[in-house]
Structure 1
Amino acid sequence: MAADPASRAQAPRARRDRPGAGADEGHPAGAASPAGTTFHAGTASPADVTAHGGGRAVGLWRRKSLRFRLTAVASAVLAVALVVSAYVMIAVLGNALLATIDESIYQRARDTVSLADAGRLPDEMTSPDGTLLQVIDGTGRITHTTTGTDRLVPLLGAGDRAAAVGRGEARFLDGKPYGIPHMLRVRVLSADRGQTVIAARPFSEVQTSVSTAGHVLIVGTPLLLILLAGASWVIIGGTLRPIAALRRGADEITDTARSRRLPVPEARDEVHSLATTLNAMLARLEKAGVRQRALVSDAAHELRSPLASIRLQLEVALGHPEGQDWRETAEGVLEDTMRLSRLAEDLLSLARLDERGGTPARGEPVELDQLVAQTVERYGEAVTVRIAGDPGDETGRSPEGGPIRVTGDALDLSRVLVNLVDNALRHTSAPVVVELWAEGADAVLTVTDDGPGIPEADREWVFDRFTRLDSARSRDEGGAGLGLAIVRETVHAHGGAVHLEDASPGLRAVVRLPLS
């Protein structure tokens, strides 16, 4: 039954009246796309589905083992190479056989032309290689042919023969119209007295050879690919075996392992370099761990003594309050507290140096001569300062002009000088001498005392953390053994060097820093 025209007219109006059905509302739910495909709310578009599927494929590929991925890639490359090689080989083989046939029929035609020009053509011509020959006179009549060749109809008409002679190259010819069930390769040469020689040879032998080679390649290429893929799997597995050994070695390493080293392969390849680098990293980590444990142990040992002293003094004072000199007790506790404070500051300084990884906190220009003068000023007459270029300088070493400027952190460099001066004041009876001058590309800072000195064998050892010589073991005589360690770490962070030398009498600390 046909729809009522009024109802048809109302249908568009009803669609327009639905919410969200306006043309300016974009693509509403259930609207058709320009291509005619309807997408509903909550339904992914084809692009989203394709991207999601591609992401799953990439994730699946990445989850495969490295051996599998390398073998797959190598096999894919080999497959492409084998297919291209097979195609090129078939093409080269076909062209080579075609060139051989062209050369053969040309020679046969050339020989026949020579016989025709000499008038020595036999009545019955033969062709051992199967070449078909026709000799046509100037009137278009066939005068001589090989056995099995049509004697009435030439293989090519007069116009085709003239074109073939002018072109000077062989051409293909369908042999079925002439009772020959093969495609022919034909060459035409002209002879004397208006004669024409047509030489033809079936192309089926080339087709057979190419087809046979193609069948061999179709069967042999997949077998060769499987063989090469298996060989790649074995070779890649052998190549990755040292990496698997590294993984097992890393899995066996624990905090309590006696030897935390990875196996190094004998081959001098990239894996050997990787194993050597990782072992060097493990050695550095092990050294850092040992150093950290030693620092914690030594710090605990150093903290125990002042804490025990404070506890003992307070227990005695509280146990006998009536006869206790509280001022003396407070002074003793304050002294031990100051030792704890200095130890905490030293440990914090070393922690910051370790955290910065051997670099200064700042890289600002520092006028070292002013810094030395301001730092030593607090010691008064206990320290004598000699800076190159001063009016009272008696060393004869003076810079070319201007301040002695280095690059680094002024607070850290000031702490270096304070630690050296404090260390010298503990062992000297005369004023400590501080000297500064420029020498070449370096600024040289020395701190000299007239104390008992340090044996040459121990001058490098005393820069280690928590190191004190036997003569300075008393807690009342020296610090915690961190001052010189802070000096060395800070100087090295600024690109310099520090060492101790004999001052006869006494000891001299020599610091070299690169000038800005």
Structure 2
Amino acid sequence: MTDEPVRRSVRHRFARLSIRARLLLVGLAGLAGALLIGGVLLYAVLTASLGRSIEGTARASAQQVALLVDSGRLPDPVPVSGSQVVQVLDAQGRVVSGSVTADRLTALVTPDELRRALAGEQVVVPGSRSGLSGRLQVAAVPAGPAAPTTPAAPTGREYSVVAAAPTADVEQSARTLRTLLLWIFPLLLAVLAVIAWRVIGAALSPVEALRRGAERIDESSSESERLPVPPTRDEVSALATTLNAMLDRITVARRKQRAFVADAAHELRSPLASMRTQLEVAQRLGEGGDLPAELLADVDRLTMLVDDLLLLARADDAATTRESAAIDVVALLCDVAGRYGGARVPVRTSPTLAGRQLQTWGPRGDVTRALTNLVDNAVRHARSRVVLDATSVGHQVEVTVTDDGHGVSVEDRERVFDRFTRLDEARDRDSGGSGLGLPITRALLRRSGGDVRLEDAGPGLRAVVTLPGDG
């Protein structure tokens, strides 16, 4: 029960890693496991092979001495090669003869060890029994004339030849191999991790190119812009082709939507104009009492909505061209502020704006309409004032429209740019707008190479418009 939260935490952390990191970790885990198993097997096989080689050498020496015993030509001392130890034992386990490296009084092996060695088992004894360091690998063979088996001579032979070879070289080789494996395997894993990181990165580079391409495509992008298709025939290429086909369908749907909105708005303007004319005539003739005046207000609101829809459809149309010209930002702000002389709250420019030389480049009508929409919104929600200001920031011009109203919460500052979005504070149709003012503002500004964002003015709200600087 207590392990399950730990496993969930590990899975959660693993899932938060990038695909590149996850592939690398999985690959390294598998490789480390394979190297560990292979290293253990190599170490076990090599040490066993070297052990059998030493045992074979000792057994061969014992058999040669046994032949000398069988032929009655055993010299004293027994000749041996290297640092081998050879003893000839009688049936009672006493030393009959031996090499110069062997003890002539005490047998190298105990009776139980001798029995096991004669049975072919692997027997290793301390080298101190023969005055040597390390350990000795023992092999034993029966020797002498054949005779009936007795408890004292279970092999039926009168003598036993015991040969032992030092295992120091084998143990040193095993230690060297173990050290090499402990150092080489981590180094090999590190080198392979670097190579795998580069290879996986190269394999995933088309995916990253797709991500960057998708990030560039937004509402302000050209309708013809598409994701890059890698020149391969793999799954990434198929994904890019499928996504581009989806973008084609979305583009067609957006064109149909814009065409419908533009056509509907255009067709509605004529009957609305006719209704306005009839209501104005009725109002002048005094027909219908207060009804014509009430209906005129609704017709005006509907006309403004139709005009906004038509303007939004045209702003979304990338094929629609705008005539750009140099714009004096300070003069434009003064002109916009002058239009609100009879507004509910005063609209004024910042005192620091005088004397500044700020210019931008773009369609004057679009920029003016965007700023007018922002001022309309600020006047609608301000408590006592609206201030216009502008400054140069790098290669851009920043225009601010600041009010002291209730403001907009952080989580809603992007949502208000969605079409027909109306916050809880502005749902009164008599005081609120159509929900298209801010979307139209952003669409017009982005068409002009700028943008708009909302910030806290403490109290109130500040709309920050970025425009391209002149030059």
Specify the alignment match of 2:167 in structure 1.
203
Partner of 2:218: 254
Identity %: 37
The TM-score normalised by the length of structure 2 is 0.50
CA distance in 1: counterparts of 2:257 and 2:46, whole angstroms: 75
Query: Partner letter of residue 119 of structure 1?
Result: G
8 Å CA contact 2:101–2:130 kept in 1: the answer is no
Q: Distance in 2 between matches of 1:168 and 1:120?
A: 26
1:225 aligns with 2:189: yes
Does residue 216 (structure 1) correspond to residue 187 (structure 2)? The answer is no
Is this contact kept in 2: 1:135–1:142, CA < 8 A?
yes
Question: 1:189 offset after TM fit, Å?
Answer: 1.0
Cα pair 1:170 1:188 within 8 Å, conserved: no
Distance 2:113 2:218 in 1: 91
Shift of 1:61: 5.0
In structure 1, C-alpha distance between the alignment counterparts of 2:178 and 2:113, rounded to whole Å:
34
Structure 2 residue 132 is the aligned partner of structure 1 residue 168: no
Mind listing any 5+ residue stretches in structure 1 that lack a counterpart? 1-45, 322-516
Structure 1 residues 280-429: aligned runs within 5 Å: 280-300=245-265, 307=271
Matched, 1:115 2:68: yes
Q: Report if the CA contact (8 A) 1:254-1:260 is conserved.
A: no
In the alignment, is the contact (CA less than 8 A) between 2:209 and 2:228 conserved in 1?
A: yes
One of 37, 49, 54 as aligned partner of 1:96: 49
1:27-66 matches, within 5 Å, as 61-66=14-19
Q: Which amino acid aligns with 2:229?
A: V
3-state SS in 1 of match to 2:87 = strand
Deviations 1:119-151, CA, capped at 9 Å, x for gaps: 333334333353321122345443332231112
Alpha-carbon distance in 1 for matches of 2:26, 2:56: 44
Of 92-101 and 136-145, deviating more is 136-145
State the one-letter code of the partner of 2:181. Answer: L
Shift of 1:299: 4.4
Q: Cα–Cα, structure 1 residues 156 and 308, in superposed 2: closer, same or farther, change >3 Å?
A: closer
Among 208, 232, 243, the alignment partner of 2:207 is 243
SS in 2 for 1:74: helix
Query: Any idea what SS the aligned residue of 2:96 has?
Result: strand
Aligned to 1:271: 236
| Residue 130 to residue 267, structure 1, CA distance change in 2 (3 Å) | farther
| Paired residue secondary structure (2:75) | coil
The letter for the 2-side match of 1:264 is V
CA distance in 2, matches of 1:222, 1:309: 82
Opposite residue 205 of structure 1, the aligned amino acid is D
Query: Do the aligned residues in 1 keep the contact of 2:84 with 2:101 (CA within 8 Å)?
Result: no
3-state DSSP of counterpart to 1:192: strand
75 and 149 in structure 1: CA distance in 2 versus 1, 3 angstrom threshold: same
Q: 1:139 to 1:62 in 2, by over 3 A?
A: closer
What's the CA shift for 1:197? Answer: 0.8
Of 129, 132, 135, which aligns to 2:85?
132
Q: Number of residues paired by the alignment? A: 271
Q: Which amino acid in structure 2 is aligned with residue 110 of structure 1?
A: Q
Decide whether aligned partners of structure 1 residues 68 and 313 sit closer, same or farther in structure 2, where only a CA change above 3 A counts: closer
Matched, 1:186 2:150: no
1:291–1:129 Cα change, 3 Å: farther
Q: Distance in 2 between matches of 1:163 and 1:56?
A: 55
| Other-structure match for 2:31 | 78
Three-state SS of the structure 1 residue aligned to 2:74 is coil
1:56 and 1:136 mapped to 2: Cα distance?
Answer: 68
Kindly indicate whether the alpha-carbon contact (under 8 Å) linking 1:125 and 1:144 is maintained by their aligned counterparts in 2. yes
| 1:40-73 Cα shifts (integer Å, max 9, x gaps) | xxxxxx97xx998887776655544333343334
Distance in 1 (CA, whole Å) between partners of 2:73 and 2:174 is 39
Q: CA deviation at 1:296?
A: 3.3
Distance 2:57 2:256 in 1: 89
2 CA distance for matches of 1:252 and 1:313? 48
* Coordinate RMSD, CA, aligned: 3.5
Query: What residue is the counterpart of 1:334 in the other structure?
Result: none
- What is the distance in 2 between the residues matched to 1:309 and 1:226? 77
Determine the C-alpha separation between the residues in 1 that align with 2:48 and 2:39. 14
Change (3 A) 1:277 1:127: farther
User: What TM-score do you get using the length of structure 1 for normalisation?
Assistant: 0.46
| Separation in structure 1 between the aligned mates of residue 6 and residue 130 of structure 2, nearest angstrom | 60
> Deviation of residue 212 (structure 1)?
0.7
CA distance in 2, matches of 1:62, 1:140: 70
Change over 3 Å in CA distance of 1:109–1:248 after alignment to 2: same
Residues 182 and 204, structure 1, Cα contact 8 Å, conserved in 2? yes
CA distance in 2 between counterparts of 1:245 and 1:228 reads 25
Q: CA deviation at 1:182?
A: 1.8
Larger Rg: 1
CA distance in 2, matches of 1:87, 1:268: 42
